[in-house]
Amino acid sequence: MYVILAEKDSQALDYYRSLANVKQVNEKEAKMKGYLQLRTPDYFGGQTAIITWAKGHLTELKDPGEYDEKWEKWSLDTLPIIPETFEYKTTTSSKSAIKQFKTVKYWLEKADTIVWAGDIDREGSYISYSICLLAGVWGKSDKTFKSLWIDDLAPKVIRKGFKNLQDIDYRYNQALEAQARAYSDWLLGMNGSRLLTLTLQQRLGLPKLDSQRDGKIAVGRIISPTLFFVYQREKEIDSFVPRTYYELVAQFDHENGSYIGKYIPADITYSKGERKGEKWKGDCDTKEQWEKLIQNPKFIGDTSKGLITTHEVELKESRAPRLMSLSDIQKLMDKRLGMEPVAVLDVIQELYEKDKVVTYPRTSSEHISTERYELLKDSTSQMVNFLGLSDEVLSIPENPDGFFVNNKKAAVHAALTPTEIFPTQEVFNGWSKAKQMIYTEILKRSLAMFLPKYQYEQTTIITSVGAGRFKTVGKVPKHQGWKILWNTQGKDKKEEEELIPVHKGDTVIPHLNTVEKQTVKPTPYTLGKLLEAMEYAGRHFKDDELRQIMKETQGLGTEATRAPSIDKLKNYNWITLKKGKVYLTTLGRLICQSIEGEKLLCDAQTTALWEQSLRKISTKENTQERFIGNIKRYLGENNPDNNLFVNLTKWINSTDYGSYNEWLASLRQNQSGEVGTCPKCGAPVKYLKNVAKCENGLLSKEDREKGVEPNCDFFLPLSIAGKKISSKQVESLLAKGKTSLIKGFKKKDKKSTFDAHLILNKDYSVSFEFEKQKKR
């Protein structure tokens, strides 16, 4: 018997419909049972096949306290936490997940052949592997394991994939890499989070910090360096000092008109100062410096006339842009709609799973296989018709262009492309604007490689003035080609400029001018730019080997984890968004200053080496044991002097947190729950769950049961006319007797709302005060 292990129920249902060749399935019944049964002579040698599924991760690594009771409580005394052997348990996220695991385990135990049919990435393989481990079927001699490897849920592709099931070797190596990543992330997270949280609480005298994680500060291989990107950018902005500089341009008068040329810097290298060793870029700090250079015959000298020494006119062409990876579309949607990366992924996941109109979304590739290219080529007429164009725009090349098609680079994941299924106009019109835009962009990028190249005429003029040379470039479009898909027929002033007719050897009259410019202040990250910083992390490294490592590992995180990592930072209250820009919160900045001295937590270079070691596990150039051994050593195992605990503790204890005094004082007050003084007896008023109450009115459960009368009965309800009253508003009410204008109180009909101030009356009751209507 075959058992097909899908990653989720929707995937399993698609497999069943395609293999059974039916359109309708009783989904409710299937989901209740947790599996589907199939028998057809066309597949699995006519044997019975059970299609069952995970719900994402059905398993997870055990918590520290499940290995040893002493690790249950957060304490510096019990660190480091290093289990002898990692163990799995059924995920505790939901009862349905526990029930589904039992169903999956039952069928896996009965199977002769088990097919891993989840997503075709490391995580998908790891999900299947960890389930098989916990179910106790991995490694059993009576079980054969196979892999389904498809990136498209169209029926035709599913059927072909099941006809050509692959050996499990590649998937297994993927799973080992992902498992090592899970182990190391667990070790760093459990130890680093406790160390940072408890050391900061100890150092700052706080019971907890408001990280929206019950005061716990998470430490992670990806989230910590990503947060540090924002910190570094803010430091660059804070320390930025604008520099004014001057460049040299010339207007040349010719008998046919005039044109502008920019000075080509002489080949000079700075011999001293901050820029020592750098090549001169043609900039001067003052106009006077330029005047001296202009008069110097080694630079320019004679400015009375100019001579056109080069006049070239070339017909050039450019290819269509590369095919899209997940990061590409996420960055584009951030730029166009200010859409968050996680939201973009959710939409593409829906296009893939529900609508089946695009290929597998979590891809970092910009290439496709020859097979996928042929499928797209067969769909070109449908694509142009969908966009309202005619087949006349097509120019299908005789052979695939290696710029787009590369079997080796598309072997694991291929670029995002449309499938053979196209939405009807009615379905498309029912989609959200964002969904329409995402699908259309993926379709256009794929279609563009079947359109002619964009052609333009480029004119280059080099004009000599004395010893100096000036360059002028003009571009004129000749054939829109693929650009017609984006309706860019209008001229781009930056790119397209038609020049006057001139010839080599013509003389011109030069008018030299210095142009004042300023260095540009760095700007805060947008979500798209932060995603890009993660993707291209390390491209600025001076070390060629490290730069290559980051290029090969494709930066921080993966296509699947980058957006969720940024989302975590937002949910933890470490970053905030204002008008589309990313800023650190006070807590986020404090965390960055606290980890600044520990490279692994904040340095992309160190993370690059970590990621490289992980990648080598799937290629058998490294082993899990060796990699995890290094992590354990970093956590102090057989290394008492130079480890995370020693280094981070030393750094935090030497860091000056003076600038946070006011913020910390406010936090302490909030954590004590005090919001002011009782107007009735003068004792502190505590902000509780449902009321703000005088401390003298608080009674223990025992006193209440005895019928003890409180010393003060002052209290304020925290929900008035359907509106939650904040601690700040209570503070204002107690201090001033009145709040600022509060919007959104509900009227008695529960449908309409009104705005009002709250005022504290002499009898300590609360009433509304309305804004006076301004006379018109």
- For residue 552, the model assigns a pLDDT of 64
Average of per-residue pLDDT across 406-421: 87
Question: 160-212 pLDDT, tens per residue?
Answer: 999 999 999 999 999 999 999 999 999 999 999 999 999 998 898 766 665 55
User: Residues 479, 346: one domain?
Assistant: no
Last residue of a domain, one of 411, 427, 448: 448
> What's the CATH number where 619 sits?
1.10.460.10
CB atoms within 10 A of CB 721: 16
Closest CA relative to residue 306, chosen from 59, 509, 84: 509
Question: 75-110 pLDDT, tens per residue?
Answer: 999 999 999 999 999 987 778 889 999 999 999 999
Average pLDDT of the chain is: 90
- For residue 549, the model assigns a pLDDT of 63
C-alpha–C-alpha distance, residues 340 and 565, integer Å? 12
Last residue of a domain, one of 477, 503, 518: 518
> What's the CATH number where 464 sits?
2.70.20.10
- For residue 690, the model assigns a pLDDT of 87
Q: Is the pLDDT of residue 10 over 50?
A: yes
Question: 203-249 pLDDT, tens per residue?
Answer: 987 666 655 556 789 999 899 999 999 999 999 999 999 999 999 99
- Note whether 444 and 486 are within 8 A (CB): yes
- For residue 490, the model assigns a pLDDT of 46
User: Residues 540, 406: one domain?
Assistant: no
C-alpha–C-alpha distance, residues 265 and 299, integer Å? 9
- For residue 663, the model assigns a pLDDT of 85
Last residue of a domain, one of 393, 424, 448: 448
Long-range contacts of 604-608 (CB under 8 A, 24+ apart): 604/225, 604/229, 604/537, 604/538, 604/550, 604/555, 604/556, 605/538, 605/541, 605/546, 607/221, 607/222, 607/225, 607/537, 607/556, 608/537, 608/538, 608/546, 608/549, 608/550, 608/553
Higher pLDDT, 208 or 419: 419
B/e letters for 109-148, b = 16+ CB within 10 Å, e = fewer, are eebebbbbbbbbbbbbbbbbbbbbbbbebbeeeebebbbb
User: Residues 418, 336: one domain?
Assistant: yes
Closest CA relative to residue 168, chosen from 138, 199, 213, 209: 138
Q: Is residue 648 part of a domain?
A: yes
* Side-chain half-sphere exposure of 740, counting CA atoms within 13 A: 6
Domain that includes residue 487, residue range:
244-319+454-518
- Note whether 112 and 2 are within 8 A (CB): yes
Average of per-residue pLDDT across 372-381: 94
Closest CA relative to residue 184, chosen from 631, 597, 685: 631
Q: Is the pLDDT of residue 406 over 70?
A: yes
* Side-chain half-sphere exposure of 307, counting CA atoms within 13 A: 8
Classify the C-alpha dihedral 663-666-667-668 as positive or negative: positive
Q: Is the pLDDT of residue 340 over 50?
A: yes
Q: Is residue 444 part of a domain?
A: yes
C-alpha–C-alpha distance, residues 746 and 23, integer Å? 49
User: Residues 103, 197: one domain?
Assistant: no
Higher pLDDT, 669 or 581: 581
> What's the CATH number where 148 sits?
3.40.50.140
C-alpha–C-alpha distance, residues 29 and 423, integer Å? 28
User: Residues 471, 567: one domain?
Assistant: no
Classify the C-alpha dihedral 301-303-305-310 as positive or negative: positive
Residue 288's SS3 state is: helix
CB atoms within 10 A of CB 772: 6
User: Residues 32, 141: one domain?
Assistant: yes
**How many structural domains is the chain composed of?**
5
- For residue 688, the model assigns a pLDDT of 86
> What's the CATH number where 344 sits?
1.10.290.10
User: Residues 77, 156: one domain?
Assistant: yes
Q: Is the pLDDT of residue 420 over 70?
A: yes
Q: Is the pLDDT of residue 775 over 60?
A: no
User: Residues 162, 198: one domain?
Assistant: no
- Note whether 501 and 277 are within 8 A (CB): no
Residue 462's SS3 state is: strand
Residue 739's SS3 state is: coil
Q: Is residue 172 part of a domain?
A: no
- Among 23-27, 246-250, 432-436, 466-470, the minimum mean pLDDT is found in 23-27
Average of per-residue pLDDT across 243-267: 96
User: Residues 30, 139: one domain?
Assistant: yes
Q: Residue 343: in which H helix or E strand, if any? A: helix 341-353
CA distance readout (Å), 656 to 373, 652, 660:
59, 8, 9
Average of per-residue pLDDT across 616-632: 93
Q: Distance from CA of residue 584 to its chain's centroid?
A: 16
Q: Is residue 589 part of a domain?
A: yes
Q: Omega into 83 within 30° of 0, i.e. cis?
A: no
Q: Is residue 566 part of a domain?
A: yes
- Note whether 552 and 560 are within 8 A (CB): no
Tokens 């508003």 correspond to what residue?
729
Q: Is residue 427 part of a domain?
A: yes
C-alpha–C-alpha distance, residues 327 and 348, integer Å? 12
CA distance readout (Å), 665 to 206, 209, 694:
10, 12, 22
Q: Is residue 774 part of a domain?
A: no
- For residue 270, the model assigns a pLDDT of 85
Q: If you write DSSP's letter for every residue of 505-548 in order, what string do you get? A: T-EEEEEEEEEEEEPPPP-PPBHHHHHHHHHTTTTT-SSHHHHH
User: Residues 435, 458: one domain?
Assistant: no
Q: Is residue 177 part of a domain?
A: no
Closest CA relative to residue 692, chosen from 666, 648, 728, 740: 728
C-alpha–C-alpha distance, residues 295 and 317, integer Å? 41
Give percent of the chain above pLDDT 90.
69
Q: Which residues pair with 746 in a beta bridge?
A: 753
User: Residues 163, 295: one domain?
Assistant: no
User: Residues 154, 202: one domain?
Assistant: no
Residues 6+ apart with CB under 8 A from 538: 546, 547, 549, 550, 551, 555, 604, 605, 608
